[in-house]
Amino acid sequence: MLAKIFEALYRKVLVNIVVKRASTLVYIEMYSKKNVVDSAHATFETTKFNDQMLDFITAYTKESPYFYISILDMSALQGALPTCSKNHFAYYYDLSNCEYKCYEEKWVYYTAKTQLYEIEKVYSQIGVDFVFSPFVVMANFFKDKITGSLALYALVEERYISIGIFEDGYLLYGEHIDIEASSEMEDMLLSDDLGDDDLELDVNRGIDLENIDVNDNIAALDDFSDIEDLDSLEDIEEFDDTKDVEEELLESEDVLEEADEGNFDEDYQRFSLIQTAIAHYYKDERYESRFLENMYIADAVGVSSDLKKYLEEEMFFNVYVRKTAIDAEVCELAKKELDL
């Protein structure tokens, strides 16, 4: 009782840290008796914890002994599995070197222990109370949807894309995609494949398109080859009963930007990575792969209308985009943990 009285005398300070591609976002909320009384944002042009960040955070945490540090897991080696049974983990992935946690007794998310230790080391000056998985952020953000029928979900960040396929609240497939690592791998493959000998052309020799090795993700779409006599996507939509009218109304409040040259390239890369992930889902016999029609995107970066167009026209998805402030979503998870 005395502890509760003492706690009521102070504000609770929630510090939320999101590391982006080249910067770090810090969002702070202050609570008094379960009500927000103040908040603050700051962006630091670094991905490393520095003195400026420390000064900004301590300016708020020094006012109360009740402060909590939350970080969005920025680890590349993380993911989610469609089981909570330890006996089934190895069927999907070796978790012996990972920390993992079951989500609502339905599915598990994990992170490599070494990367969690690194997070603790980097933020040792302020301490870390919560490290939240992007899969949990995505599940909480779409909590009104994932308990329903089969659909694909994606949380799009600057550095990562987290993919989840859910039905009735259960995860069927999860994949965490490191955009920068994927880009570097593509560059290496192109460098290896396109040596000087490969680029030598003369007037008697052209490029044989039939011998070009097309990406595996295109092969996953071969099932559509039997569809004939479709003049346009509008024809498909006339017969489509899966449209989410409520989601379309919600999405209409946020108009997607037209692509410029920069985000055109980024959105096409995102599309290609999502396409590859879905190809894995369809091909891998470990997963109960069934045809997907609806896709929901949590947009934390400001994707353009091109990403939606690619997914709708190339993969025949009904795509719905919700904009999100991911730092605020991390704060929402902290509030749930603290029962605020």
The CATH-assigned architecture of domain 2-72 is 2-Layer Sandwich (3.30)
Residue 178 and residue 79 in contact, taking contact as beta carbons nearer than 8 Å: no
Reported pTM:
0.81
What pLDDT, on the 0 to 100 scale, is given for residue 303? Answer: 93
What pLDDT, on the 0 to 100 scale, is given for residue 296? Answer: 98
Domain with CATH 3.30.420 in the chain: 2-72
**2: phi > 0 → left, psi -120 to 50 → alpha, else beta; which?**
alpha
What pLDDT, on the 0 to 100 scale, is given for residue 147? Answer: 94
CA–CA distance, 173 with 234 (Å, rounded to integer):
30
Residue 147 identity: T
Residue 114 and residue 78 in contact, taking contact as beta carbons nearer than 8 Å: no
pLDDT by 10-residue block (mean), the chain, 340 residues: 68 96 96 89 97 97 95 96 96 97 97 96 96 98 95 97 97 95 59 50 37 43 43 47 73 65 80 96 93 97 94 95 96 95
The radius of gyration of the chain's CA atoms, rounded to the nearest angstrom, is 23
198-221 burial, b for 16+ CB within 10 Å, e for fewer?
eeeeeeeeeeeeeeeeeeebeebe
Say if strands 107-112 and 78-81 run parallel, antiparallel, or are unpaired. Answer: antiparallel
CA–CA distance, 166 with 146 (Å, rounded to integer):
6
Q: In the chain, how long is the greatest CA-to-CA distance?
A: 90
Q: What would the 3-class secondary structure string for the chain be? A: CHHHHHHHCCCEEEEEEEECCCCEEEEEEEEECCEEEEEEEEEECCCCCCHHHHHHHHHHHCCCCCEEEEEECCCCCEEEECCCCHHHHHHHCCCCCEEEEEECCCEEEEEEHHHHHHHHHHCCCCCCCEEECHHHHHHHHCCCCCCCCCEEEEEECCCEEEEEEEECCEEEEEEEEEHHHHHHHHHHHHHHHCCCHHHCCCCCCCCCHHHCCCCHHHHCCHHHHHCCCCCCHHHHHHCCCCCCHHHHHHHHCCCCECCCHHHHHHHHHHHHHHHHHHHHHHHCCCCCCCCCCEEEEEECCCCEHHHHHHHHHHHCCEEEEEECCHHHHHHHHHHHHHCC
What pLDDT, on the 0 to 100 scale, is given for residue 33? Answer: 80
CA–CA distance, 105 with 23 (Å, rounded to integer):
35
Query: Which of 240, 244, 72 minimizes the C-alpha distance to 144?
Result: 244
Can you name the residues that pair with 101 across neighbouring β-strands?
A: 109
What pLDDT, on the 0 to 100 scale, is given for residue 119? Answer: 96
Which structure tokens are listed for 126? 């302020």
What angle separates helix 179-193 from helix 261-283, to the nearest 10 degrees? 90
What pLDDT, on the 0 to 100 scale, is given for residue 183? Answer: 60
Residue 328 and residue 310 in contact, taking contact as beta carbons nearer than 8 Å: no
CA–CA distance, 194 with 196 (Å, rounded to integer):
7
CA–CA distance, 127 with 120 (Å, rounded to integer):
7
